Amino acid sequence: MRAEDFLGLLEQKGFDFFTGVPCSYLAPLCGVLSRRGHDFHVPAPREDIALGVAAGAYLGGRLPVVYMQNSGLGYCLEAFASLNLIYRIPALVLVSYRGPEDPGWEEHLIMGQHTEELLRTFGMRYSLFDGEISAREVEEIRGYLLDEELPYFLLVLKGALE
């Protein structure tokens, strides 16, 4: 899916604040966000900082999207547990689902093998994003975020965004 189309779909459904740590899987989306300026996009140096920024945006009336690699997910599980889950702060979290599809980057293998298991262990809902997502699916995710006040994760597969 073209990053512009994906971003447009998110914006159409009310997502209006973006923060995170760039990754090659998410580079097309990060590029579009950067070209648009910084009024609704705040790149972060670390994933836990992005979660804090997104929490502030939510408390200020925004509907945030956080982006990161799955290695970043491992890094900030404590931040999810002690901030988003306890205080019921929702965010759509785009996680590049790195792992076996990245030969030569062995550091992603273990995290790639356990990403879904970690999300299930923490009781966090997720789905795979292979480049196809409908407006109805995004609306359902938005409904979950607002009704449950918890994060929802889209695991972004390699090549899903162009």
Task: With respect to residue 161, please indicate whether it lies within any of the assigned structural domains.
Answer: no
Q: What is the pLDDT of residues 29-39, one digit of tens each?
A: 999 999 987 67
Identify which of 65, 77, 72, 70 has the alpha carbon closest to the alpha carbon of residue 30: 65
> What average pLDDT does the structure give for the chain?
93
Task: With respect to residue 109, please indicate whether it lies within any of the assigned structural domains.
Answer: yes
Provide the CATH number for the domain around residue 134: 3.40.50.970
Q: What is the pLDDT of residues 103-156, one digit of tens each?
A: 666 777 888 888 999 999 999 999 999 999 999 999 999 999 999 999 999 999
Report how many domains make up the chain: 1
For 139, the domain range is: 3-156
Task: With respect to residue 162, please indicate whether it lies within any of the assigned structural domains.
Answer: no
Tokens, residue 19? 């923060």
Q: Predicted confidence band at 3 (pLDDT cuts at 50, 70, 90)?
A: very high
Tokens, residue 104? 């030569």
Task: With respect to residue 19, please indicate whether it lies within any of the assigned structural domains.
Answer: yes
Task: With respect to residue 152, please indicate whether it lies within any of the assigned structural domains.
Answer: yes
Q: What is the pLDDT of residues 88-104, one digit of tens each?
A: 999 999 999 987 667 66
Tokens, residue 59? 């408390």
Task: With respect to residue 138, please indicate whether it lies within any of the assigned structural domains.
Answer: yes
Query: Roughly what angle, to the nearest 10 degrees, separates helices 135-148 and 3-12?
Result: 50
Backbone phi, then psi, for 95, in 5-degree steps?
Answer: -120, 120
- DSSP assignment of 18-60 equals EEE---GGGHHHHHHHHHH-SSSEEE-SSHHHHHHHHHHHHHT
